[in-house]
Amino acid sequence: MIRVALAALAAFLLSASIAQTETDSLNVQKGTLTNASFRLENGGVMSDIKIVYETYGRLAADGCNAILMSPGFTTTYRFLGNQDSDEDAWDALIGPAKAIDTNKYFVVSVAHLGSSFGSTSPADINPGTGKQYGPDFPNIRTGDMINAQKAVLDSLGVKHLVAVISQSYGGRHVFQWGVTHPDFMDGLVPIETSPKDPRGQAGVDSIIKQLSKDPNWNGGWYYDKGGILTALTEMRVATLKAYGSDEKLAGKFPDKAQREAEIVRRSRAWAEKMDGNSLVVLRRANVGFDVEKDFDRVKAKVLYVLSRSDKNFPPSLAPEVMAKLRAAGVRADYFEIDSEFGHGSAFVDAQKWAPRLQSFLSELQAAK
């Protein structure tokens, strides 16, 4: 009995030690950077903005072991333990001994300027008027978001990035980082995304059209009219289905009616936290986005990742993008995730491409 008890105690202590080691390695930290006068690319200036961020792991003494993650269009900046988003967090990819190993790397994630997740947004008070920005929020661009991220990295003491890694909307930021700060990182991993936005203003108009169906829309001034929960919920349901939620939830909810109810429940929970004007602001920031013409500025090595079943960014994009990268002299590799989960493949089937991501990061380190 004593031997069994000692063995059980040893197992418990080992388990606790491992758990503590993982927690220590993650070292999750949250922060807010404030800027009294933030200059935009269009020459305008925003006063008293805040940019929130989260970090995992520890920054090396030389400030050169950081990896930047850029959030998606509709997701929080929290990449781990994410209970705020219906879309899968990156828990399978980020952490001790995982592809993005927090024993090695200092991971930084920044909430987009203009988003609904903490950084200054349309729902915040405009210092110039004393009222919410609403639809009068400045016309920010992708470059402004990149500059906000760079300001956070500078404040943290990051001197050089190992890589910028992100999916979908954030994946476009990966490409932008490569041309805006070509000497600041070793690698770029754009996932389920493209280097240009073919929808342009039509994408903005589509979102406004969907949101304006809500009786409370009022040209975007809905804050004191009860919000636009109905329109946001309907929009989210369509998005989740496009991202493969039906397939993803089939195991847990085999009955189609139950599965539909679960998707609606998750969509409503998301809608309760989302500001419709933020969606307009972020989509508008992408109008005219096209970095292909600047590929010759990219110095980092690229790993371009798409999913076989993604209808938003299909594998048919790869040949042209890869050809243009290589024609510009960029060292670029392509990886296709063999998954049925569409635009959510990078998360749902993380194990199918995690080894390639891990080896890519190792290659970057070995090349130094």
pLDDT, tens digit (0-9, with 9 covering 90-100), for 328-341: 999 999 999 999 88
Q: Is the dihedral of CA 44, 50, 54, 58 positive or negative?
A: positive
Confidence of residue 9 (pLDDT cuts 50, 70, 90): very low
Task: From 153, 152, 146, select the one nearest 41 (Cα to Cα).
Answer: 146
Separation between Cα atoms, residue 231 and residue 219, nearest integer Å: 14
Q: Specify whether 173 is catalytic.
A: no
pLDDT mean over 128-135: 95
pLDDT of 366 reads: 83
> Token pair for residue 275?
């500001």
pLDDT at 13 over 60: no
Helix 229-242 × helix 201-211 angle, to 10°: 130
Which of 55-69, 78-92, 141-155, 176-190 comes out lowest in average pLDDT?
78-92
pLDDT above 70 (res 258):
yes
Q: How far apart are CA 172 and CA 183, in angstroms?
A: 18
Is residue 160 among the annotated active site residues? no
What value does the mean pLDDT take over residues 352-357?
A: 97
**pLDDT recorded at residue 231:** 95
What's the whole-number mean pLDDT along residues 73-98?
Answer: 77
Backbone angles phi, psi at 163, to 5 degrees: -160, 160
SS3 content of the chain, % helix, strand, coil (to 5): 40, 20, 40
* Angle subtended by helix axes 201-211 and 276-285, to nearest 10: 170
Find the catalytic residue in 70, 115, 168, 194. Answer: 168
Contact between 312 and 343 under an 8 Å Cβ cutoff? The reply is yes
pLDDT at residue 82 in the model: 59
Q: Is 17 a catalytic residue?
A: no
Q: What is the pLDDT of residue 169?
A: 94
* pLDDT above 90 (res 249): no
How high is the pLDDT of residue 251? Answer: 83
pTM of the model: 0.88
| pLDDT at position 20 over 70 | no
Range 20-24 average pLDDT? 45
Structure tokens at 292: 């292909």
Distances (CA, A) of 7 to 10, 15, 309: 5, 12, 48
- 175 and 195 Cβ atoms separated by less than 8 Å: yes
Catalytic residue among 115, 310, 345, 349: 310
Alpha-carbon distance of 165 to 158, in angstroms, equals 16
Please state, as a whole number, how many other Cβ atoms lie within 10 Å of the Cβ of residue 319.
Answer: 10
Whether 74 and 279 have beta carbons less than 8 Å apart is answered as yes
Q: What is the predicted pLDDT for the residue at 265?
A: 93
CA 113: distance to chain centroid? 13
| Collapsed DSSP state (helix, strand, coil) of residue 3 | helix
Query: Quick one: pLDDT band at residue 199, thresholds 50, 70, 90?
Result: confident
What domains can you pick out in the chain, each with its CATH number?
A: 25-197+289-366 (3.40.50.1820)
Catalytic residue among 112, 343, 345, 349: 343
